[in-house]
Amino acid sequence: MIAKTREIYKDKRLTNSLPSVRYVDPEYVYLGITNQRCATGESFVKPGDHVNMGQVIGLRHGPFFDQPIHSTVSGEVVGTIKKFHRSGKLTEFIQIKNDKKNTFADTIKERTDEEIAKLTREDFVEITKKCSLVGLGGSSFPTYIKFQTTDPIDTICINGVECEPYLSADHRMIMEHPRRIIQGCLYAKQAFNAKRIVICIKKKYQDLYDTLTAELTRFPGAPVTVKRVGNYYPQGWEIEMIKTGLGIKVPAGVLPAKLGIMVFNVSTIAGLWRAIKWNEPVMKRNFTCTGDGIKIPTNFRLRVGTSLKEIIDQCGGYNDESENKVLILGGPMMGANLVRDDAVITKTCTSCIIMNEKKYTEEPCVRCGSCVYSCPAGLQPVQIMQAVKNNDKDALKNKLNIKSCILCGMCSYTCTSKIHLTEYCRKGKKLAL
Ligand code: SF4
Ligand code: SF4
């Protein structure tokens, strides 16, 4: 059973009706040489080099793929500098001084509709690989790998649910760029030769429904449906979204592609539009900076590589400096805590939540079962905690199926004794490797 905790969504109201502020001209941008999926990488530039927007300036090496690094401004390379990555790790970044001329690399050029109509699935793989497109909802999964599936795809399912509290970056993406989203969907349909596209949004967001359906009138005959799904967390988990949005239950351990379904986040599909239409990598993204710890919660359209500190200043700075702050990069349920604000906004950062710290004391487990009832993956979080405490790798792996945990945070959120169960799950996943 999934707990339907409606009250936690009220905090989205801080920002979801606010148009995105364009903050696209920081003095410097910082592009990570490595990231959470690519442990090694190399820079192709040196201090003093001039670079253009979209130019390849390095290459990250993942376990089974390489990922080009693109400059997101035109300007001069300053050198490399260590800063905090969204994963919380101190990471080496290439620092570029923005000349604010917005000069594009030669590779960025428009494809005509006729050229696009001739693109094959292999072309989509090549383009998204070169443009380094990844899951922009936070997953960072390389998009070209999705295009490489050998499974026949019948349905493209677009995740516009954004179910974590506080976040509104995707909400603004739909409100501000519905045409890019629909066009991106049609490109994906072409690549997979799919029959239908279903865009899932929360039932309660009439503004999103009206915007998308109005835009669809420009695409007569397009097999696109807007499906209004539940208002609860974790409705945006793809398995849950497919169940509600398409009425299909994906069995545990089975990829949706095996059932003919390919899922993209709404920002990723807008990124696909840009990659196909303009051969452009992700250089800007929507980002929400919100919470009771800053003065002016704001949505931004910003340059990838912008310093978080600069964005906090744009929000008027911290609210009540005397209070300790908690910074979470990503949503409050699944995001990562930051120890300081000297972090960089990468292309997979959706948001930063800044809260005044509230101290909770963990109490002993009272065996109420709330964590078990609330787990969307049907796991036993309380048992997982015990297995982690006992260092019982075998139980974690075989009996408790820790692999199926999606680190959604529901067990911590619902725990009567305020135990950080999700942290135990995170440790359990590492132990069971
Ligand atoms: S974090 Fe894992 S164990 Fe906890 S509720 Fe979510 S899926 Fe279940
Ligand atoms: S919700 Fe908390 S107190 Fe209740 S059984 Fe789970 S761990 Fe124990």
Q: Distance between CA atoms of 361 and 100, rounded to whole angstroms?
A: 49
Cβ–ligand 1 contact at 406 (below 6 Å):
yes
The distance in angstroms from the start CA to the end CA of the chain is 28
The ligand minimizing its distance to the Cα of 401 is 1
Atom of ligand 2 lying closest to residue 411 CA: 1
Atom of ligand 2 lying closest to residue 366 CA: 3
Contact 307, 26 (CB under 8 A): yes
Domain 109-278 carries which CATH code? 3.40.50.11540
Assign 358 a pLDDT band (cuts: 50, 70, 90): confident
Residue of 286, 305, 284, 275 whose CA lies nearest to 144: 275
Sign of CA dihedral 112, 116, 122, 127: positive
Taking only the tens place, the pLDDT of each residue in 29-75 is: 999 999 888 889 999 999 999 999 999 999 999 888 899 999 999 99
Taking only the tens place, the pLDDT of each residue in 384-412 is: 999 999 999 999 999 999 999 999 999 99
Say what percent of the chain tops pLDDT 90.
83
- Give 369 Cα–ligand 1 centroid separation in angstroms: 13
Looking at residue 4, its pLDDT comes to 40
> Which token pair is 196?
């239908």
Chain centre distance of CA 336? 12
Assign 8 a pLDDT band (cuts: 50, 70, 90): very low
Cβ–ligand 1 contact at 387 (below 6 Å):
no
Contact 348, 138 (CB under 8 A): yes
- Say which amino acid occupies 62: G
Looking at residue 246, its pLDDT comes to 97
| Ranges of CATH 3.40.50.11540 domains, the chain | 109-278
Cβ–ligand 2 contact at 371 (below 6 Å):
yes
Strands 336-338, 325-329: pairing is: antiparallel
Pocket probe for ligand 2: among 363, 421, 424, the residue whose CB has the most ligand atoms within 8 Å is: 421
Cβ–ligand 1 contact at 408 (below 6 Å):
yes
Atom of ligand 2 lying closest to residue 364 CA: 3
Contact 74, 49 (CB under 8 A): no
Question: Is the predicted pLDDT of residue 303 greater than 90, yes or no?
Answer: yes
